[in-house]
A and B are shown apart, each in its own frame.
Chain A
Amino acid sequence: MMKDITFGQYFPADSIVHRFDPRAKLLLSLLLMIFIFVAGNFWALFLIGGTVLTLMMISKVPVRLYLRNVKSIFPIILFTSLLNALYTSSGTVLLKWWIFTVTTGGLTRAAFMSLRILFLIFSSALLTYTTTPNDLTDAIERVLKPLKFIGLGNAVHTMAMMMTIALRFIPTLIEETEKIMNAQKARGADLESGNLMHRIKAMLPILIPLLISSVRRAYELAEAMECRCYHGGKGRKRMKQMKLSRADYIGSAVLVVLCACVIPINLFL
Chain B
Amino acid sequence: MDNIIEVKNVTFEYDSADTSARQVLRNFSLSIARGSFTVILGHNGSGKSTLAKLLNGLYKPTAGAVTVDGMDTADEAHEIDIKRKVGMVFQNPDNQLVASVVEEDVAFGPENLGMEPAEIRLRVDEALKAVDMYDYRKSAPHKLSGGQKQRIAIAGVIAMQPECIVLDEPTAMLDPRGRSEVLDTLVRLNREKGITIVLITHYMNETEPADRVLVMHDGEVIDDGRPREVFSHIDTLKRAGLDLPQTTDLLYRLRQAGLSVPEGVLTVEECVQALLPLLTEVR
Contacts and interface: CB of A to CB of B under 8 A. Distances in A.
Contact of A229 (B97, B98, B109): B109
Interface stretch (A90-98, A107-115, A237-245): A237-245
Contacts of A230: 108, 112
B256 interface: no
Contacts of B84: 229
Nearest to B108: A228
Contacts of B15: none
Interface string B74-112: 000000100110011010101111111101100111111
B56 interface: yes
A1 B76 CA distance: 48
A22 to B, nearest CB: 14
Nearest to B81: A229
Interface stretch (B116-124, B177-185, B194-202, B218-226): B116-124
Interface in A133-190: 134, 164-165, 167-168, 171-172, 175
B94 A172 contact: yes
A13 interface: no
A68 interface: no
Interface in A199-222: 216-217, 220-221
B80 A231 contact: yes
Given A168-B141, A227-B56, A229-B109, A237 B115 contact: yes
A224 B94 CA distance: 11
Contact of B114 (A171, A175, A226, A235): A235
Contacts, number: 95
A225 B80 CA distance: 12
B117 A237 contact: yes
Given A220-B90, A223-B90, A172 B142 contact: yes
Which size class do B's interface residues fall under?
35 or more
Contacts of B133: none
Chain A CB within 10 Å, residue with most, of B112, B156, B157, B160: B112
A226 B141 CA distance: 20
A168 B53 CA distance: 25
B90 A224 contact: yes
Contacts of A216: 95
Contacts of B110: 239
A236 interface: yes
A238 B160 CA distance: 14
B272 interface: no
Contact of A228 (B95, B101, B109, B140): B109
Interface of A: 134, 164-165, 167-168, 171-172, 175, 216-217, 220-221, 223-231, 235-241
Those 5 A-B pairs whose CB atoms lie nearest each other, nearest first: A224-B96, A239-B107, A220-B95, A239-B120, A227-B88
Interface of B: 53, 56, 58, 80, 83-84, 87-88, 90, 92, 94-101, 103-104, 107-117, 120-121, 124, 140-142, 153, 156-157, 160
17 contacts: A168-B100, A175-B142, A221-B98, A223-B53, A227-B58, A228-B112, A229-B109, A229-B113, A236-B111, A237-B120, A238-B107, A238-B111, A238-B117, A239-B107, A239-B124, A240-B104, A240-B107
